[in-house]
Amino acid sequence: MHLDIGAALGDDAEPGVDEGDLDDLDEQVAQAHETIAAGRENDDFGYAALNLPEETDTSVIREAVEPVADAEYVLTVGIGGSALGAKTVTAALADDPHRHVILDNVDPEHVERTLSDLPLDDTAINVVSKSGTTAETLANFLVVRAAYEDAGVDWTELTVVTTGESGPLAELVAEHDLPRLPVPDGVPGRFAALSSVGLVPAAILDVDIEGLLAGASAAADGLGPSLYDSPGYAYGAVCYALEEEGAAVNAVMPYAERLEYFAEWFAQLWAESLGKEGRGQTPARALGATDQHSQLQLYRAGPNDKMVTVVRPGERAEVPIPESEHDSLSYFAGADLGQLLDAEYDATVASLAEAGRPAVEIELDELDAEGLGELLYAMEAATVLVGELADIETFTQPAVEWGKRAARGLLSGEETEETKTVAQRPSYRID
């Protein structure tokens, strides 16, 4: 994996980073790295996430999923960090990503349809909630369980639970003697992809999770006191510097369908970790080349408040574009789809640079287990680094608690301060 920040440097990019300022930035990185290294050393809350590649024991995961290893499908019941990492890994690496189905919303119609589309007797259930109390996950799991019972399928034989040591989910595990995988200590859900939280479906679908962790380990080994030595820190440092110069939006645009969920995972990591105290870039999820026909006009000609992060694998499958009888298509002659996609990628980066819009390129050697592990780890390191540089609390998410309490109050019918605020919220209706 390497990073190319050329199109974010120099006088032309606006916002941009002066090449001469990189050394100052590097001093800040060195300081931040000290904090991060100390946090890792002590396994402090949050920083512990960066130790997962060494700490995660895949044999425990493989053993826990053994009873369901023959299942054709895996249904993950989880939301946010309990779903995005798992989906990112299988979407990128499973032979058939459709075998991993997610219930990460409580839309009744969608839940019903999802369950009726699946062969329940051949579908493992992967329930994930760190606290064991997440309302959406528990409600969905109750519905899922009942659907299995209605279909005459013993859900207890097909379920793997990842949760902490207490809470309703842990009680359920004890009661029904289910395999339980622990959540790692001191790791927020969005940083837990490289643990049981993110790896159970991949293990069931025979993904090389050991290779994934090996790739992450290699990235971890690369972290040091300088941005020049690690793509992860370099990415974080450049994003931070661009944000300071006005890049309020970070559009993340992988040029690979298998990385579409990576953009979702990154968006949570970035937004929930760094969206605090009136700051934090807004991650915009995009996909190349598709979004060239949707978002590129804005990226290139809209406000100078963005950076674009493009990601691509160094190798692609070979699918030749067949010859055509039409002269107007002669420019395809001898090309394949991957060349077209790479041409679009190069053209987009150059077109942004030409318009003075900063772009940062992330190139994986290959989109395999090692390559993905390296990428995920590098992005986590980048996020932690930005949190240090911006001096915010990277590992908490205090702003969502109010809404959780309000929703729970509304559902129970109990009157609380929050439900009163909901009832009295301003209304001005136009029909």
Contacts to a second copy from residues 156-185, by CB under 8 A: 167-168, 171-172, 175
> Cα separation of 309 and 221, whole Å?
24
The one-letter amino acid code at 425 reads: R
Q: Measured from the CB atom, is 70 or 426 closer to a second copy? A: 426
> Cα separation of 101 and 126, whole Å?
10
Non-local CB neighbours of 19 within 8 Å, separated by 6+ positions:
9, 10
> Cα separation of 104 and 140, whole Å?
9
Q: Measured from the CB atom, is 51 or 129 closer to a second copy? A: 129
Q: Does 382 bind a second copy (CB under 8 A)?
A: no
Q: Does 427 bind a second copy (CB under 8 A)?
A: yes
Give me the catalytic one of 98, 293, 318, 326.
293
Give me the catalytic one of 136, 260, 272, 374.
272
Task: Tell which residue, 397, 398, 395, has the closest CA to residue 49.
Answer: 395
> Cα separation of 162 and 179, whole Å?
9
Selected from 30, 37, 118, 135, the binder of a second copy by CB under 8 A is: 135
State in angstroms the smallest separation of the CB of 58 from a second copy.
26
Under 8 Å between Cβ of 170 and 163:
yes
Phi and psi torsions of 213, nearest 5°: -70, -35
Selected from 30, 37, 151, 355, the binder of a second copy by CB under 8 A is: 355
Q: Is 2 a catalytic residue?
A: no
In the shown chain, the binding pattern of residues 209 to 238 toward a second copy, with x for contact by CB under 8 A and - for none, equals: ------------------xx-xx--x----
CA 168 → CA 142, 171, 173, distances in Å? 12, 5, 9
Q: Is 87 a catalytic residue?
A: no
CA 113 → CA 33, 89, 128, 144, distances in Å? 48, 24, 21, 12
Report the largest interatomic distance among the alpha carbons of the chain, rounded to a whole angstrom: 71
State in angstroms the smallest separation of the CB of 208 from a second copy.
17
Q: Which residues, 76 to 105, sit near a second copy by CB under 8 A?
A: 79-81, 84, 98, 104-105
Non-local CB neighbours of 159 within 8 Å, separated by 6+ positions:
68, 124, 125, 126, 127, 176, 178, 179
CA 325 → CA 322, 339, 340, distances in Å? 10, 20, 19
Q: Which residues, 393 to 422, sit near a second copy by CB under 8 A?
A: 397-400, 402-404, 406-408, 410-412, 414, 418, 421-422
Selected from 23, 63, 107, 154, the binder of a second copy by CB under 8 A is: 107
> Cα separation of 20 and 237, whole Å?
14
Among the candidate windows 63-71, 201-209, 350-358, 368-376, which touches a second copy by CB under 8 A? 350-358
State in angstroms the smallest separation of the CB of 37 from a second copy.
20
Q: Does 349 bind a second copy (CB under 8 A)?
A: yes
Q: Which residues, 26 to 55, sit near a second copy by CB under 8 A?
A: none
State in angstroms the smallest separation of the CB of 383 from a second copy.
13
> Cα separation of 259 and 242, whole Å?
24
Q: Measured from the CB atom, is 40 or 145 closer to a second copy? A: 145
Task: Tell which residue, 53, 45, 2, has the closest CA to residue 209.
Answer: 53
Non-local CB neighbours of 52 within 8 Å, separated by 6+ positions:
184, 187, 191, 192, 194, 195, 213, 216
Q: Which residues, 185 to 204, sit near a second copy by CB under 8 A?
A: 190
Coil, strand or helix: which one is 336?
A: strand
Selected from 110, 165, 221, 366, the binder of a second copy by CB under 8 A is: 110
State in angstroms the smallest separation of the CB of 42 from a second copy.
26
Q: How many residues bind a second copy (CB under 8 A)?
A: 143
Selected from 248, 356, 368, 390, the binder of a second copy by CB under 8 A is: 248
Q: Is 272 a catalytic residue?
A: yes
Under 8 Å between Cβ of 54 and 220:
yes
Give me the catalytic one of 404, 414, 415, 417.
404
Among the candidate windows 36-44, 65-73, 213-221, 353-361, which touches a second copy by CB under 8 A? 353-361
Q: Which residues, 273 to 312, sit near a second copy by CB under 8 A?
A: 274-280, 282, 284-285, 287-290, 292-306
Q: Measured from the CB atom, is 47 or 395 closer to a second copy? A: 395
Active site members = 272, 293, 404
